[in-house]
Amino acid sequence: MAGKEFDIVVVGAGILGMSSAYHLQKNNPKKRILVLDRFSGAGQGNTGRSNAMFRNTFTSTDNQTLSDTTISFYLHLQVNQNQDLGLEQIGYLWLMSDRQLAANERHVEGMVRNKIEIREYGRGELERLVPGLRADFGESDEEAKILKLDRVAGSIFGVKCGRLDPDRLIVFYRDRFIGMGGTVAFNTDAVKLMIEAHESLDIEGEPFVWQEARVNGVEVRGALEGEIRADAVVMAAGAWNNELLEPRGMDGHVKAKKRQLFSIPARNDPSLVNLLYTKGFNELGLLPMVILPKAGVHFKPVRIADEFWVACEDEVNRPFINVPDHDLDAYTAEASFYDRNVHPVLKGYFPQFRNARPKRMWAGLYSYNTLDYLPFVVPRDGLILVGGDSGSGIMKGDALGRIVDSAYREGEESEAMLYGEVPYRVSKLGFENRDVEREEWVI
């Protein structure tokens, strides 16, 4: 296949690459589109290692739109199209201190204005509804004092939020893409972006600075070898975008950072089982995703396995990685990180986790846009860059795929049509005419 020409090559078969490929093939049925990935299948990068939660409770209106329309599409697939994505609307319960409630008042007003469905619970209601929650700390509680645990003053509950199965989601996009005539190539590493002069004079060393340059394909190694020419290259390599962009003097404006998940079995501990099956928040009779007021420590119930998955914001002293290792197993989860960082906060608010130790743990990479924490979609000179999802790419995956397609067909000034007939101007997520508010609720 190498040496062959495609209209579009998508580098990366994670959620952003596969959703882009699906929408591109759907709206450009005659175009020959290739998705390539260095792993042996789709979704084996950070998509497969994620917590796979979704929420529309963001502070930025743009993030609300990207996630809300994406969630609606996933719900549509599961409810109307019989496409079981393992989607469960358990909700997100943000427990907040007095200070956090006050600081977020305007954000909550914004969500209500934008018709994001939320409910507010006071401390008393939470104590009644959530088994074992310690919402206040006595004067003599030395540990709470040392950890500076604030009392829970209230909470914001996001209704249209929950979890899904990322493998099933990716299979949906992959199979539909292939079904429409798209091509996939796994075990194939894109090693270089090819660049040519737009109007070549056939002189060695082109493109020169006085020529217009454009990306015209990728060099590949592995199952495919050689040069693959294309009119457009979609860079959807996630945490690895910099690796191909930077040697060509392009900036992806993303930085990767390790993130870890710890799975805590509940089955043999009645107090944890009781917590897992908390009633009153959703129709499933399950505890929602809970975000604690300290360090972004959060946990969700996984009912098929009777366990909790626990994680936290990991900002302090955790290095950024500019070009990550190709092997994600190079990033291991650390039991000591759970013991010394996560567990003290967790058991501070929920004492029933006192003896809880992880049975399994794993790590992956967040791909941060450190400026405003919103994604990028940037069409420029034969390249369409998509990334910067800052730890919430699955819940915005469908919208971003539609925006990539609009960028390809009609350029940066076009309006993409997101699910539910919601128009969205592509340039809002670009570099030059970027028009978004910084996101404040990043976990």
Residue 385 backbone dihedrals phi, psi, to 5 degrees:
-95, 130
Tokens 């469960």, located at residue = 88
∠ Cα 228 233 239 (to 5°):
110
Q: Taking contact as CB under 6 A, which single stretch among the options 32-40, 78-86, 124-132, 421-429 is the one that binds ligand FAD?
A: 32-40
User: Hey, what are 146's tokens?
Assistant: 């040392």
Q: What is the dihedral of CA 66, 70, 72, 78, to 10 degrees?
A: -170
Q: With respect to ligand FAD, which residue has the nearer C-beta, 130 or 261?
A: 261
Q: Which of residues 43-82 bind ligand FAD (CB under 6 A)?
A: 44-47, 49-53
Closest of 154, 102, 159 to residue 129, by C-alpha: 154
Provide the minimum distance between the beta carbon of 41 and ligand FAD in the complex, in angstroms, as a whole number. Answer: 9
Provide the minimum distance between the beta carbon of 197 and ligand FAD in the complex, in angstroms, as a whole number. Answer: 24
147 neighbors 153 (Cβ within 8 angstroms): no
Q: With respect to ligand FAD, which residue has the nearer C-beta, 156 or 164?
A: 164
312 neighbors 295 (Cβ within 8 angstroms): yes
Binding mask 390-409 for ligand FAD (x = CB under 6 A): -xxxxx--------------
Amino acid at 188: T
If binding means CB under 6 A, how many residues of this protein chain bind ligand FAD? 41
Q: Is 252 in the site for ligand FAD (CB under 6 A)?
A: no
**Cis before 29? omega within 30:** no
Provide the minimum distance between the beta carbon of 224 and ligand FAD in the complex, in angstroms, as a whole number. Answer: 10
Instruction: Tell me which of 8, 9, 10, 15 binds ligand FAD, using CB under 6 A.
Output: 15
Provide the minimum distance between the beta carbon of 43 and ligand FAD in the complex, in angstroms, as a whole number. Answer: 6
Sign of the four-CA dihedral 161, 163, 166, 168: negative
CA dist., res. 302 & res. 310, Å (int): 11
308 neighbors 300 (Cβ within 8 angstroms): yes
Q: Is 189 in the site for ligand FAD (CB under 6 A)?
A: yes
Provide the minimum distance between the beta carbon of 109 and ligand FAD in the complex, in angstroms, as a whole number. Answer: 25
Q: Is 236 in the site for ligand FAD (CB under 6 A)?
A: yes
Residues that bind ligand FAD (CB under 6 A): 11-17, 36-39, 44-47, 49-53, 189-190, 236-240, 243-244, 259, 261, 364-366, 387, 389, 391-395
